[in-house]
Structure 1
Amino acid sequence: MTYASAVDGTDRVGLLEDGEIHGLRSPARLVDLLGDDGERLARAAEEARRDPAEVVPLGTASLRAPVPVPPSIRDFMAFEEHVCNARGLPRGGLEPGFYDAPVFYFTNPAAVLGPHDDVPVSPGSAAFDYELELGVVVGRPGADLDPAEAEQHVAGYLVFCDWSARDLQKAEMRHGLGPAKGKDGATTLGPALVTPDELAPRRLGRAFDLQARVTVNGRPSTTSNFRDPLWSIGELLAYASRGTRLVPGDVIGSGTVGAGCLLELSALHGTEAYPWLHPGDRVQLSVEVLGDITTTVVEGAPLRPLRRRDEHG
């Protein structure tokens, strides 16, 4: 994981064990431990156990995103249930192309937040939403990967929250591009990078049996599981690498798990039961083994109009 050092406040990489972070002396960036089959991470873990620079209780640590500024972030739609819920369709009712290849968009690496950072509402939005996903960090570079072997390029997994301004997203996507500002404001990653061997006991076919929960102001919201994706992690990585190159530190989002956002829940149960997020709301997103993101939604920057209405030609 990445955290602010208790000594000087600079970012430091550490190993989490038994509720304590064992800080590495170097390097300062987790991405510098990637690039191979996981041996560098394993050696760093042993070094952190043997000779830590410091030991910090997890409860007092200021956590950063494990990879604070990824080289790229691709966010997929791997869960059919999510898309069908959001569109009011039965399972199997999406357009045929959805079942031919996974779809994704690129989101903003500069907008990555740590697991306890406040999340600002996107300027001009009145329909702010969380989206709970499984995140993957690429460990080994590669291009045109074989789906059957692509998971060998995974350094680890984490909780991924794609914060979405649904009203902005809906408006801009009418024009055939996007999402852009509807997704541009914040992506929360964390709390730690969990290596593949730690998730191996939860393997279920091509997926993972990981219970997922979200509460808003302590009230249960999402209850779901990552066991039922339409596309496996290997298939997502293979498609992401098609005709291009993945590099260490790239982040892949699985897409929202079924019932993993307010857009779905309000479509299923009504907006009164599941209203949009507002400043002051406290949101906790939890995934078994991977840990928790706990954050507060805050007021965003004021909307600055590009021009006056009477200036439109």
Structure 2
Amino acid sequence: MRFATWESAGVVQAGVVSDAGLHALPEGRTIIDLVRSGLPAALAAGHAALANDPVSLESVRLLPPLEPPTVRDFVAFEEHVEGVVASVGDGGGVVPEWYEAPTFYFTNPYALVGAHDDVAVPPGSQVLDFELEVAAVVGLDGTSLSPDQARDHVFGYTILNDWSARDLQRREMKVTLGPAKGKDFASTLGPWLVTADELAPFHDADGFLELEMSVSVNGTLIGRDLLSNMGWPFEDLLSYASRGTWIRAGDVLGSGTCGNGGCLAELWGRRGEQDPPPLRPGDIVEMTVEGIGTIRNRIVPGVELPPVRPARPRSRRRERA
């Protein structure tokens, strides 16, 4: 089943997606309410909503499917790391530590945008990039889960575009912290949340989801990959996120960017030049993931802000003057 959230005439609603359109849940009920109720109850609520008259997709603005309490973004594709390290980092190759355990950072849950929303260039950036990912949504609270246990904690999946300001990111990560402002200005989530049972037929023998992924800019194909090229399946990502702490229903965990052109920076690192060029206002980025759907965002100019003040020169005086 596919769950969506949308806005029409200033009213936000949540519901089920069918071939006929969007079927609203009872007023006031959100997708995160469904997620927290558990998959069986959510499916029952969805089937009940299908009896309601549909609203056409073309008549609404799709919002992110849910408002997650947290968003963790992993870096689970080796091929992506190979290219991006040469472009955004210093040097090349994949560090040995990448293979030891999944790595993630927390990104901004307040910066999520819908499947067809415009995305503004962040202040101070000249090197804007996309990142093609799939995100899993946690369906049950849990702590220190084994991968086998974590498998039952996945509610469903959606597409994630982890937009990146590469010039800001590069500066930040030289301080061995971040990314911060290089990432937290926008992340597209959508177009809807597909429940885990619907994608079960795509699991390969090793538990990976063998979904085709592609991204184009202005109609030109830039990258394509299989989600099953991840270094770890999603249950391992959930298990690692829960080690010594809690994951909660509604949390979003990104796969990290796929390889083979899943972002521009990977291609820049391999080619030694910014080819294709960074995104500019007017560009349209479209991402499709098999079994989930398509998101499409247009880049627009951002706000102009004064430059950030540098740190003031400091003495090492230890007493007041």
Q: Normalising TM by the smaller chain, what interval?
A: over 0.9
Q: Which residue of 1 aligns with 2:291?
A: 289
CA distance in 2, matches of 1:19, 1:96: 50
Q: Name the stretch that deviates more: 254-263 or 17-26.
A: 17-26
Secondary structure of 1:243's partner?
coil
How far apart in 1 are the matches of 2:197 and 2:312? 59
Q: Note the alpha carbon deviations across 1:212-254, whole angstroms, 9 max, x for none.
A: 1111111111121111111110110011111111111110000
The CA RMSD over aligned residues, in Å, is 2.0
CA deviation vs aligned residue, 1:84-139 (integer Å, no higher than 9, x gap): 122359xx952222111111000001100011111111110111000000111111
Q: Report SS of the residue matched to 1:208.
A: coil
1:295 aligns to what SS in structure 2?
Answer: strand
Alpha-carbon separation, structure 2, partners of 1:299 and 1:281: 11
Residues 58-207 of structure 1 correspond to what in structure 2 (within 5 A)? 58-67=57-66, 69-88=67-86, 93-204=93-204, 205-207=206-208
2 CA distance for matches of 1:2 and 1:288? 17
The C-alpha deviation readout for 1:48-75, integer Å capped at 9, x for no partner, is 122x2x41112332101001x3100000
Matching residue's letter, 1:192: W
Query: In the alignment, is the contact (CA less than 8 A) between 2:215 and 2:223 conserved in 1?
Result: yes
Letter in 2 for 1:80: E
- TM superposition shift of 1:197: 1.1
Query: In structure 2, what residue type is equivalent to 1:246?
Result: I
CA displacement at 1:3 relative to structure 2: 3.3
Point out where structure 2 has 5 or more consecutive residues left out of the alignment: 315-321
Count of residue pairs the alignment pairs up: 306
- Tell me which moved more, 231-240 or 10-19: 10-19
Instruction: Name the TM-score, length of structure 1 as normaliser.
Output: 0.92
Quote the Cα distance in structure 2 between the aligned partners of 1:181 and 1:272. Answer: 21
- The amino acid across from 2:223 in the alignment is T
CA distance in 1, matches of 2:138, 2:306: 37
Aligned-partner Cα distance in 1 for 2:5–2:100: 40
Deviation at 1:203, TM superposition (A): 0.8
Aligned to 2:216: 215
Q: Contact conserved, 2:5 with 2:192, CA < 8 A, in 1?
A: no
Q: CA deviation at 1:19?
A: 4.2
What is the DSSP-based 3-state SS (H/G/I as helix, E as strand, rest coil) of the residue aligned with 2:152?
Answer: helix
After TM superposition, the score normalised by the length of structure 2 is 0.90
